Amino acid sequence: MTDLWFVVMAAAPAAPAGKQSPQGMFSSVLLPMIIIFFIIYVLMLKPQRKKEKERREMLDTIKKGDKVVTIGGVHGVLVTVRETDVTLRVDDDKGVKVKMNRSAISRVLKEGAQEDEE
């Protein structure tokens, strides 16, 4: 807390002698700082929290048989879904399955979505 006070006082403009009291100087610096913190919250932190909440909801609703894409770009179908990990079937022909953390899932593909298959 004392470091913040030092930053506030260092950033405050020097007042001419006898013109402004220390309380007036503090209030003239405090209001712009509060406004800046509010702008940072509205523009950066609030949207980030909303996006993280949507991601948590998506991970909570995944189920066996969903087509997903991992953070690494691997496409597959969920075979098993547990609390912390999932098993992903990558290749039907060879039976390739990959076990990974549940948090490694980037998105769930919609049923009607077009996929590029080679």
Mean pLDDT by 10-residue block, N- to C-terminus, for the chain (118 residues)?
54 55 72 90 89 94 94 94 94 90 93 52
pLDDT of residue 13: 58
Long-range contacts of 94-101 (CB under 8 A, 24+ apart): 98/74, 100/70
Strands (E), the chain: 67-70, 75-81, 85-91, 96-101, 105-108
Please list, in sequence order, all residues whose beta carbon lies within 8 angstroms of the beta carbon of residue 115, skipping any fewer than 6 positions away: 67, 75, 109
pLDDT of residue 42: 87
pLDDT of residue 59: 93
What SS3 class is residue 66? coil
pLDDT of residue 30: 86
Closest among 102, 106, 112 to 51, alpha carbons compared? 106
pLDDT of residue 19: 58
pLDDT of residue 109: 93
What is the C-alpha separation between 63 and 111, in angstroms, rounded? 13
Rounded to two decimals, what is the model's pTM?
0.59
Amino acid at 7: V
